[in-house]
Structure 1
Amino acid sequence: MIKQYKPVKVVNFIACMVTLVIAFGTSCSRDPNPVDGIIKIDAAKGVVSVSPGDMEKIKEKIPVGDSRASRSYLKVNDKETVKVSGSGSNSAVFISEETPEMVNFYIKGTKDFVEKVIAKVHEITGVSLSLNRFELIAETKTYPAFRETEFSVLEKELGKNMTSLSRSSSSFNEVKTIKATFENGIQEVRLKFSEEFSSLKITIEGDQQFVDRIKALIEKSKKSET
């Protein structure tokens, strides 16, 4: 296992996230985490040098260890984007820069997942990764007595400062379920509204300030409908 990494400032990371939105804006929504509570998640962000064909290998070989894993690869105008996600908060995104041989990435999830991804990318590319390691939190909470109109207000509030990655709506026996995912860089919000149980289940991933801000938006959306 690689022990030392050089810290780096990813100057173009925000611009690269635009590419991510284009690439994955129509992907299926991921569910919130199954159990309510607060957990710490590991995260890493940085850059790595790749050779032709490496991005396809990264997409196929990153160890997710989950039968529900999602693996996506897209190439547009010589820019490559890879996204791999598994259960819970485990996900990794790789986006090529203006020069195709340099790739921005972020990884988040369990410590084991993050370290295995770093090791596998090093194995594929043959070079050390320049990255920053840090911790985030993932808070999952169920809000009872939550109405669809309140959910719509919350979606609009989230959309003011975050990017909508996906949204899906399904019905069974005329009972509606809505799932949505919003993202702002490495920070993410996953929502699931259940008409059957009149509830909202949400997972918020980010630093404490971000989590508190999203929870305030939830309270704001409830008050707006009272």
Structure 2
Amino acid sequence: MDNREEMSSWTLVRRYAVPRWMIEQATERRLAGDWAGACAAAHVDVGFDLAEVAGGYGARAAADLEADLRHLAPDLLRWHLPRVLNGRTSVGTLRALVLGRYGDGVLHVVTPPMVDGPQRLRLLFRRKPLRRVPRGHTSIVAEDWSGVRHLWDARSSAGLRPTTAEPAGRRSSTPTARRSPRTSFPAPRRTPPTPPPTTSGSRCCTSAVSWRPRSRPPGPSRTSATRACRAGPGPIRAA
């Protein structure tokens, strides 16, 4: 896949896989302190309970986990998920994205097992990331996203700017026409119109540069000839 096709696929992902209503609802619930509601708005199924985490992993682990969950932006996470592309918006399948470790537990997100199936995610908290699909033999690939919090933590979203902005004092090698849709282009060059073809018997010659009348043969001027005609023939002399 070339760069143009890849960018076209990502445009479809941004428009349809993470719609505006999902971003608005997930943000509204997160700002209200309802992290579970934010996950529901972004189609993320939560597979644990904080009370169970406190009982199985300790109160300190549960408190640290809850503090991070309050700033979890599931819509931002979905925005940056790996995709199959090639003109499709489906999430990359069978991946366990580790978001953080709390005591002996691991918070991670599991992507769907099928490209054409539901695109819902699962947020799990276990001692180890999920390795296999339940009731199946397909393995899941684990990826560590704990060091890229700007891809899912609202507190670190400012880190997105350094990953996309140009270094100070450095000019981009990208053509200007690709960077800005308002690029001005030079006006097209105008060529002089082609003159109509001259026909046979024409009394003048036409040129694309200048027009000149046909020169007359040397002889008496028109005024002298007119005077001679008006005066009439001269006296006839005898031979």
User: Do Structure 1 and Structure 2 share a fold, with TM-score over 0.5?
Assistant: no
Structure number with greater CO (CA < 8 Å, separation at least 6) is 1
The interval holding the TM-score normalised by the smaller chain is: under 0.3
- Relative to total residues, which structure has the larger helix share, 1 or 2? 2
- Relative to total residues, which structure has the larger strand share, 1 or 2? 1
